[in-house]
Amino acid sequence: MSDIAQNLLAVRSQLPEHVRLVAVSKYHPAESIREAYDAGQRVFGESHERELTQKVALLPNDIEWHFIGHLQTNKVKYIAPYISMVEAADSLRLLREIQKQAARHDRVIDVLLELHIAEEETKYGFSLDDCRKMLEEGEWRQMPNVRICGLMMMASYVEDVEQIRAEMTLAADFFDEVKQRFFADAPYFKERSWGMSHDIPIACQCRSTMVRVGTAIFCERGY
């Protein structure tokens, strides 16, 4: 069994049955993705449009691609024909562009709203207040080609387990609020995407439904 196949098994063994695994393959070559694919993995996450486009051309078309990084509005048109989920929708402007490009391809694109909860300055995402405000204003209701399926966040990259837990708990509580206020009748609004290689168990305790795992599957990034 290849290292990647073994790593996949090890990661999956940590996940409750209802938690989906997004294999984050950014910076790793198509051959590595192929190995994971051959081991049964079908959902992959990438964070750069160019890199993703190149890989899509080389790999089987039943792969479900998630865009997990900051997506510039001018890049939406390139991925709109095939992307399964935009996990890090971080502005109304981006939602508008996804709506426009999805409509052009006669598709509905699933998105997650990215929350900015971590302390790091550099992270993108809605503050909880901005997210509430955006949802209250309601323009998203006029976006038939955008389906908001839940929330995504990255916890602070710290050793302190309690800090990570506090941030993920805040996100999970906010999910409940948003679900109740805006998506009570929308069964598809159910995803909570948090958890990366170093914080998978905490994420699962904090009600994650989808973990995005790179290093633990593909080893250190090759850059």
Q: Which residues from 18-37 bind ligand PLP, rule CB under 6 A?
A: 24, 26
Q: What's the rounded Cα separation, in Å, for the pair 133 and 95?
A: 15
CB of 196 to ligand PLP, least distance (A): 4
Token pair for residue 19? 């938690």
Residues between 59 and 98 that touch ligand PLP (CB under 6 A): 68-69
Query: Interface with ligand PLP includes 47 (CB under 6 A)?
Result: yes
Least distance to ligand PLP from the beta carbon of 85, Å?
12
Distance CA 199, CA 40 (A): 23
Least distance from ligand PLP to the Cβ atom of residue 213, Å: 5
Q: How far is CA 70 from each of CA 48, 78, 106, 122, 125, rounded to the nearest angstrom?
A: 8, 15, 24, 11, 9
DSSP 164-177: HHHHHHHHHHHHHH
Query: Which residues, listed in sequence order, are joined to residue 115 by a DSSP beta bridge?
Result: 126, 153
CA distances from 4 to 8, 60, 110, 161 (A): 6, 18, 28, 27
Using CB under 6 A, count the residues that bind ligand PLP.
14
**165-204 footprint of ligand PLP as x/- string (CB under 6 A):** -------------------------------xxx------
Tell the smallest beta-carbon distance from residue 69 to ligand PLP (Å): 5
Closest separation in Å from C-beta 16 to ligand PLP: 18
Q: Using CB under 6 A as the criterion, which residues of the chain lie in contact with ligand PLP when the complex forms?
A: 24, 26, 47, 68-69, 154, 196-198, 212-216
